[in-house]
Structure 1
Amino acid sequence: MIKAPGCIATGGTVAETEAQIPEAIAFHLEGMREDGISPPIPQSQVEYVEVAA
């Protein structure tokens, strides 16, 4: 089972979404600190799935 972090950014376009990412991360980390939770160790994972159109 993969446990996903709870940080999400949304927007009407890719550019709008990318602009929201820093604020979303800061807000999420602030909430974690308030709850006494240590921020996770930074890591990345990318997977691509091909879907027939």
Structure 2
Amino acid sequence: MIVGLLAAGMSPFDAACAGAWLHGATASEIGPGLIAEDISDTLPRVLDRLRSGRP
């Protein structure tokens, strides 16, 4: 995720912060038992919520 943000032009610090936040927000939505595949399945929902300004 962080490498993708870097490729999109973010600074290394901002990409690391955003990547860590997105990973954590996605994990919070999924809950215990998270596997890597869950992140890619849930991340679009987290991004939509972020874009719409919903908590």
TM value normalised by structure 2: 0.38
Q: Higher relative CO (CA 8 A, sep ≥ 6), structure 1 or 2?
A: 2
Q: Which has the higher helix share?
A: 2
Give TM-score, length-normalised by structure 1: 0.39
